[in-house]
Structure 1
Amino acid sequence: MFPIKEATFLAPDVKLLRIEAPRIALRRKAGQFVIVRVHEHGERIPLTIADSDVDEGTITIIVQGIGKTTKLINMLEAGDALQDVVGPLGEPSDIEKFGTVVVIGGGVGTAIAYPTAVAMKQAGNRVISIIGARTADLIILEEQMRATSDELFVMTDDGSAGTQGFVTQKLQELLAIGEQIDRVLAIGPIPMMSAVSEVTRSRRIKTIVSLNPIMVDGTGMCGGCRVTVGGQSRFACVDGPEFDAHDVDFKILSQRNTLYRSQEKAALESLEADPSEDLAEIRHCRLEQQHPEVGPRAK
């Protein structure tokens, strides 16, 4: 069991969880993730480690409630526990002093971009961050990104915060005024990452994206997280999750991410129609954490 020390909504359907996981906190590096299971009969999903505190022995994950499991996670509160948290997994971000690094976060992708922005700043880079969302209430970690960036630009589709427009527009503006950019990191929806890669391709600016495909075991055995990079199959869980954006086949990535949409929809509808079984599992996890002698819940 992995006790939850803090559970706070950052935006509608976006929740921050601070979890007791001292071994992971000690070893994790920017860009790595964990595989989480809510309860004994739940599915396994990958979530990037947004932060950690070695002294407290905690890691922080940020979850957007979209499907059944993420909706369940967002029902958890401080004092609850997750059944499993496995990690850290994946290759860490490539961190060194490049010069000027632009870090772009779209939506909840900002949670993934944040630890890399911190690490890039600590390595001596000039960090320019661009974060975006549809509306102001969906912008997350603005102050944290501001604190670790030399410059921060906020973009919203409707102009309710920062500047109206897309993150790619701000990137194009920076390039147009002659900003010498040595590396770009873009994390967010697939269309956004693809658009950023097209902006930087002709300028030959090294651009890294973090991919979050369907993933089960996190060790390269199941092949569910297969992505096409440079014309070859790679596994996001062990070869990534970060790849050179100019080599990623975003079309195939988009197609694979919709393979199980009907099953995901059915699972979510089942949860919304009758959450009692899953809530009973969560309550049992809470009881088992408080009283280990209780043991697993009978089915």
Structure 2
Amino acid sequence: MASSTVRPGDQDRLAEQDVARRLLDSSAKLSYDPATEVDWETPLDTGHHGASPEWSTLYGTAYWKEMTEDQRKALTRQEAASVASTGIWFEMILQQLVLRDMYAKDPTDPRFQWALTEVADECRHSIMFARGAAKLGAPAYRPQRMVVELGRAFKTLAFGESAYAAILVAEEVLDVMQRDWMRDERVAPFVRTINNIHVVEESRHMKFARDETRTRLRGAGRLRRQINSLVIAITAYYIVTSMVHPDVYANAGLDGDRARAEAARNEHHKSRMRASCSGLMEFLASCRLLTRPALFFYKRAHLI
């Protein structure tokens, strides 16, 4: 008589499929179409910020105290547009990582179907961010050429836990700041809507990325964890340090050299970044991905 016992590997696979089914159900019940949900028609009201002022790279500095309220609002609008542009850059990397991971896999598997749902979400988010940045009156902010080329290599070579944990890093950092922005009535209403859409839909992406990271690390040895922890940390460093483009200050009418110097020394902003990443660092530590070499890069990026 054949045994009905479910093997451990089968149990794991069934659990992963169950997570994917629940994410698909959630997506079917609560998703947004930015083309209709966001108010694209009303002209930009320059009386609003683009982000919560406390998240500005200059908040709390001597320069911030000298700035007029209009200058502060102009700066946060440029900074929000820069963060959105960086988000587009990494979401394009993310889409390619997910598609490559799912290439030629079982399309009847709920994980495969969720992966395509996530890619569809990211396509909409990228268009939403692009339209939002344009409405904020910002140019096309892009990471430095070296970072763009490193991203090109990463999207081609990364796989497994290094891909999904890096996805998680980008999403977690954005999630915390956008939760503040979407509740802040000082922020332009259309930006708050964009942030709300992104927070709701990215919560599902983060759940999937966490589960996939744990799954891919199952049975991983020390050397593999050491290598991937470093890859993830370096990726996190370049994502975070590319969020606010150096040109935002001049484009907001400020002295670019002075603003960049004061932003680089701004302990308030560094503290907010560290606080925003506390949950992420706990997760990476639980996966044994906070190695000494990795910590070097997280500290340089002020994430820990």
For the aligned pair, the TM-score class normalised by the smaller chain equals under 0.3
Q: Which structure has the greater CA radius of gyration? A: 2
Q: TM-score, normalised by structure 2?
A: 0.24
Task: Determine which structure has the larger helix proportion and give its number.
Answer: 2
User: Which one has more relative contact order, counting CA pairs under 8 Å at least 6 apart?
Assistant: 2
